[in-house]
Every structure is written in C-alpha cells, then in structure tokens.
Amino acid sequence: MKLFLNLLMIFLIGAAIWFCIGLAISAPFVVSDPTLQGVTHCGSVLDGGVKVDSVVAVSPLGKSCKIDIGSVGVGNHSIAASFVNIDPIYGRVESAMSVPFVFVVPSGTINAPGALKLVP
C-alpha cells in the first residue's frame, strides 16, 4: 500500500509539473530578429511602463528577445525592446530601443450557439 501511495504521489507531482510547463510555453510571444552579438538580456517596455529585463532566447540562428504577452489585458498595446549585455567589468551596456510594436488583444467573449436541434 505504501508503494502504491509513493507511486501515486510521484505521478501527481509529475503531472503537475507537466501541466505547468505546458502553461509556461503556450502563451503568445513577441519575438525579435536574432542577433549574433554577445547579448545576455532583453529589456522590454510594455505600454510605456517600467523596463523589464529577461534572459534572451537562444536558437541556432542566434539570440533574440522572446517576450511573453499572455497576461496582457484586453485592448490596444505597444511594446518596445532593446538588447542588453550585463558585463562584470563594463556593467550594463544597452542598445537603442526598437520601434514599438503595436498589437491588439481581442476580448474573450464569444456569442453562444443558438437554435440547437436534433438532425437524423
């Protein structure tokens, strides 16, 4: 019985981790063109707010900004980004901000289907 409970606990923890990973990678992203420069971070500004640093995404083509916009509310938005290199000797070295990317998050309301009927 104890072995069964241990296996059940391992399965439930694994399922929870798998579910969280699925949520983490399923959001819409704003992605920049890749660069071959030695950048370490990406600074992004959403709707003229506070700049937020995130680690660059690495691919075979180079490094790029990959900004998660899954939690952005409904409406019109703009986002701009810059490449950042945080060096232990020179400190923070940052590129100029990109041209803002404007996008719209639509409302999540959809009309319900009507006039349901049974068809032979």
- In the chain, where are the structural domains located? 27-105
Helix (H) / strand (E) element for 13: namely helix 2-25
Whole-angstrom Cα distance, residue 60 to residue 49?
32
Q: Is the dihedral of CA 18, 42, 90, 61 positive or negative?
A: positive
Tens of pLDDT, residue by residue over 70-114, are 888 889 999 999 999 988 888 889 999 999 999 998 887 778 888
Using alpha carbons, select from 34, 36, 37, 39 the residue that is nearest to residue 87. 39
List of residues 6+ apart from 33 with CB closer than 8 A: 64
Question: What is residue 13's predicted lDDT score, i.e. its pLDDT?
Answer: 76
pTM over 0.85: no
Whole-angstrom Cα distance, residue 112 to residue 107?
15
- Burial class of residue 42 (count of CB atoms within 10 Å of its CB; 0-12, 13-18, 19+): buried
Beta bridge partners of 86: 92
**Domain 27-105, what fold?**
Immunoglobulin-like (2.60.40)
